[in-house]
Chain A
Amino acid sequence: MQASELWDIVACSLFVSGTAVAISAVVGVPLGVVLGLAKFPGRGAILAVVQTGMALPPVVVGLAIYLLLSRGGPLGAWGWLFTPRAMILAQVILSLPFIVGIIVHAIESLPTELPGQIRALGATTRQLHWTLVGEARAGVLLAIATAFSRSISEVGAVLLVGGNIKGHTRVLTTAIILETSQGAFGFAIGLGVVLLAIALAANLVMIRWLRRTPR
């Protein structure tokens, strides 16, 4: 394997997982905040679905998306199968429940009087939500870090819907599978170290961000 090929794999991993987590965060953070604050009938059922989503088997998610996106599937016309888009879709579905679930818990852990006191200072609903995200930022960052870790290390779903195509949909985890199947254990271990280094770097960045206290 050439260095350029390795960079392609790393870049594809970062692009797919980074995009999936970004989409999950954009959708999941507001959803988590609203679910954490709101009291309505059926909320318990929604939270149960979210919790169950954390235990979704990636291969099952991959299979479902494969069937949806395959030529004869209901979304086959999109032409997404064996593209990074399909991989991102799979990883969004897998990471979203983590972001929503952890943020709901983080918001519920704040003092119950806090939202009322923030509103009393003149916050609009949007300002209230942003302020609560800031106050619960440890939980928010934990949610994003967990989602990223799950995404970057996931293999079953991205292999099924991405197809492990060289230079197109090959990511670190699927490359490790390929190298192992070909007996290139040293190289597979090397890719594993790269994967761990990325996960470690991402978490260090988040810890550093977390320690920045608003002044």
Chain B
Amino acid sequence: MTIAAAELIDVRKQRGPGFALEVPRLEIRPGEIVCILGPTGAGKSTLLSLLAAAATPDDGEVRVGGQPLRGDRTPVELRRTVATTYQRPLMLSGSVRRNVEFGLRLRGEAPATHAGAVLGRLGLLSLAKRTAATLSGGEMQLAAIARALVLRPALLLLDEPTASLDAARVGLVEDAIRQSVSDAGMAVVWTTHNLFQARRVADRVALLLDGRLIEVAETDSFFHRPEDPRTAAFVEGRFIY
């Protein structure tokens, strides 16, 4: 039996007085891309923070590679199997290359040659020596994606990774992620507002509304044969929340 890359089991996480994320069960398989759709405030980032061990659930369990996460007390070896990119990535001082290789240095690994390959795949080679703090918002987002990909994590969490990118760079990112999935077999959880992007990249798609997991389905079924009327309304762009 294949061990799930990540699982949420009967998870509940309160965020503020009026909002709680509730996920009865969600399993992420190795080598698949799962897109999480939902309006702003639906709980997408909360879901990612649970998977990244940046938060602990109030109830239930989150597992990565079959092992339970314990928030801050999660063993570093387990945390290092997960990499996350944020909506507003922050760069450390120094060059773009230093930033991209930073996670490898934390692991005591020599800057690998594939760091250059990842930079090239994302069109960042010409910026490698530039001070990261001088990058534009879109360039920083690319550098943050490179910083995560170079770690070859078992689970990659992407929080709206292309939100501030132009169309050409969105294509670069989607190709780079797909390439990394096929090269390294990593699982990807990718939050997005963009239905077209979910259609292009996802193997499965999940819908979150007001903290509730409404439906998880294969991409084709999700868009063409949704089981839940709220999913049908969402993919048709009708007002449902």
A and B are interacting partners: yes
Chain B interface residue bracket vs A: 20 to 34
- Given A121-B103, A122-B106, A127-B106, residue A214 in contact with residue B90 (CB < 8 A): no
Decide yes or no whether A168 CB sits under 8 A from chain B.
no
A124 to B83, CA, bound (A): 14
A28 to B178, CA, bound (A): 47
Stretch among A2-10, A98-106, A111-119, A183-191 lining the B interface? A111-119
Contact check, B95 vs A215: say whether CB atoms are below 8 A apart: yes
* Chain B proximity of A151: nearest CB distance (Å): 28
The CB with the most chain B CB atoms within 10 A, among A113, A117, A118, A215, is that of A117
Residues 117-155 of chain B, each 1 if its beta carbon lies under 8 Å from chain A, else 0? 000000000000001000000000000000100010000
Query: Which of B86, B131, B147, B151 sits near A213, CB closer than 8 Å?
Result: B131
* Chain B proximity of A114: nearest CB distance (Å): 5
- Given A111-B90, A213-B131, residue A120 in contact with residue B84 (CB < 8 A): yes
A63 to B178, CA, bound (A): 70
Contacts of A135 in B (CB 8 A): 92-93
A213 to B76, CA, bound (A): 28
Q: Which residues 76-101 of B sit at the A interface, judged by CB distance below 8 A?
A: 76, 79-80, 82-84, 86, 88-90, 92-95, 98
Contact check, A122 vs B90: say whether CB atoms are below 8 A apart: no
Query: Which of A113, A123, A124, A127 sits near B90, CB closer than 8 Å?
Result: A113
* Chain B proximity of A121: nearest CB distance (Å): 4
Contact check, A214 vs B98: say whether CB atoms are below 8 A apart: yes
Contact check, A215 vs B94: say whether CB atoms are below 8 A apart: yes
A120 to B52, CA, bound (A): 7
Decide yes or no whether A131 CB sits under 8 A from chain B.
yes
Contacts of B131 in A (CB 8 A): 213
Contacts of A118 in B (CB 8 A): 92
Contacts of A213 in B (CB 8 A): 93-94, 131
Complex A-B, nearest 4 residue pairs according to Cβ-Cβ distance, in ascending order? A214-B94, A122-B80, A121-B103, A120-B84
12 contacts between A and B (CB under 8 A): A111-B90, A117-B84, A120-B52, A120-B83, A121-B83, A122-B79, A122-B80, A122-B151, A123-B106, A213-B94, A214-B92, A214-B93
- A sample of 19 more A-B contacts (CB under 8 A), given A113-B86, A213-B94, A214-B93, is A113-B88, A116-B54, A117-B86, A117-B89, A119-B54, A120-B52, A120-B54, A120-B82, A121-B106, A121-B151, A122-B106, A122-B107, A124-B76, A127-B106, A135-B92, A135-B93, A214-B98, A215-B94, A215-B98
Q: Which residues of B contact A (CB under 8 A)?
A: 52, 54, 76, 79-80, 82-84, 86, 88-90, 92-95, 98, 102-103, 106-107, 131, 147, 151
